[in-house]
Chain A
Amino acid sequence: MSERIEIDKDAVRRDLMKLVLTIVELLRQLMERQAIRRVENCELTEEQEEDLGTALMLLSDAMDELTEQFGLTPADLNLDLGPLGPLLPRDR
């Protein structure tokens, strides 16, 4: 009996992690696109560009590590919004 509760707990934890990571991934992609746009519009100094890029790169690495740790793939971090399509625009 106690074993069964333990398994359910794991499933809940995994699903919650999946949801959290999905939202973080969405924000990360939005920030990345915003950063790229700002670079293209020459709104950033070289230093800002470097800092922003480094931060996003580290965040991307951290995401990869976390998804792997929880046995998820990038494709798992996508919510199907039905007629609106997938939450994350594309798988990249």
Chain B
Amino acid sequence: MITYLYAVGRDLERVPDVGSGGVGGGALRLVGEAGLQAVVSDVDREAFEDLDAHREDLAWLASVARAHHGVVEAVGRAHAVAPLALATVYLDDDRVRAVLRESHEAFTAVLDRVDGRDEWGVKAYVRPGAARAAAGERPSSGAAYLRARRDALRAGDAAVADAEREAEAVDAAVSALAVESRRHPPQDRSLTGRTEQMVLNGAYLVDRSAAAEVRALVEERSRTGSIDLELTGPWAPYSFAGGAA
């Protein structure tokens, strides 16, 4: 057995209450050191030793991700939490203690930064139909058809460019309300399950007191703008806990 590390906090007194336990159903434990507590559970060593072998095993990855997310969310409900990357494992609890000791400053900095704040995600998509608006009645001749197609292609390119510009403006507006922001690469259609092209995949660390403002802003921009916006959250600050361990 090896030790799977989910998240680090600094005022955790009890093991978080997660019905289904940790990855693989393992019982959650706290490992404390230097004023920090790591939420861990034992996992099967073989499964994590050769992660490359599992890279294509989406069902396995999904089950790990669900368990990981469940634990991080449970901790984050009541405490400031620094989530670790998926599948962070150490040989034993002693190694976890060593990491808490060695990275004490980095963890403390992350916990200071995320305390009282949540991560929100904003995704923007080209609005369907924006590119097709030009297609009207059937062209009367071959030449007219070619012209219509040329206009449609141009309109499509212009629509994407417009959407990207508008997404930049949304990103700037949400960033102004946030403490910190990150841009993730736009996701592929196979991940989003949407046919429209994604033009913004932003993560924002937002004070709990400003959350309503962010929600209102996104709703307003979605209503008045010409791109489709999707707000997700509140999440544990996955995108803002980097650099600790």
Contact of B143 among A33, A50, A91, A92 (CB under 8 A): A50
Contacts of B141 in A (CB 8 A): 50, 53-54
With an 8 Å Cβ cutoff, the count of chain B residues facing the other chain is 19
- Say yes or no for A40: interface residue by CB 8 A criterion: yes
In the complex, what residues of B have CB within 8 A of residue A85's CB?
A: 188
Is B142 within 8 A of A90, CB to CB?
no
B190–A56 contact, CB under 8 A?
no
* Residue A75 is within 8 A (CB to CB) of chain B in the complex: yes
Q: Is B223 an interface residue (CB 8 A)?
A: no
For chain A, the bracket of interface size reads 20 to 34
The listed residue (B132, B146, B152) touching A53 by CB distance below 8 A is B146
In the complex the two chains form, is B189's CB within 8 Å of A92's CB? no
Taking a contact as CB atoms under 8 Å apart, the answer to whether A49 and B132 are in contact is no
Known: A75-B195, A80-B190, A90-B131. A52 touches B142 (CB 8 A): yes
B26 within 8 A of A: no
Specify the main secondary structure of chain B where it touches its partner.
helix
A33-61 interface bits toward B, Cβ cutoff 8 Å, 1 = contact, 0 = none: 10110011000001001111111110000
Total cross-chain contacts (CB, 8 A)? 53
Known A80-B190, A90-B156, A92-B156; judge A53-B150 contact (CB<8 A).
Answer: no
Across the interface, A57 reaches (CB within 8 A) one of B142, B190, B195, B197, namely B142
Residue of A nearest to B190 (CB): A80
Choose among B132, B143, B144, B156 the residue with the greatest number of A CB atoms under 10 Å from its CB: B143
Residue of A nearest to B150 (CB): A36
Q: List residues of chain A with CB under 8 Å of any chain B CB.
A: 32-33, 35-36, 39-40, 46, 49-57, 75, 80, 85-86, 90-92
Q: Can you pick out 7 interface pairs between chain A and chain B where the beta carbons lie within 8 Å of each other?
A: A36-B150, A53-B141, A53-B142, A53-B143, A90-B131, A92-B132, A92-B153
Given A32-B149, A51-B142, A90-B197, 18 other A-B contacts at CB below 8 A?
Answer: A32-B146, A36-B149, A46-B143, A49-B142, A49-B146, A50-B141, A54-B141, A55-B142, A56-B146, A57-B139, A57-B145, A75-B195, A80-B190, A86-B189, A90-B131, A92-B131, A92-B132, A92-B153
The 8 A-B pairs at the shortest CB distance, nearest first, are namely A53-B142, A54-B142, A53-B146, A57-B145, A50-B142, A53-B145, A36-B150, A49-B143
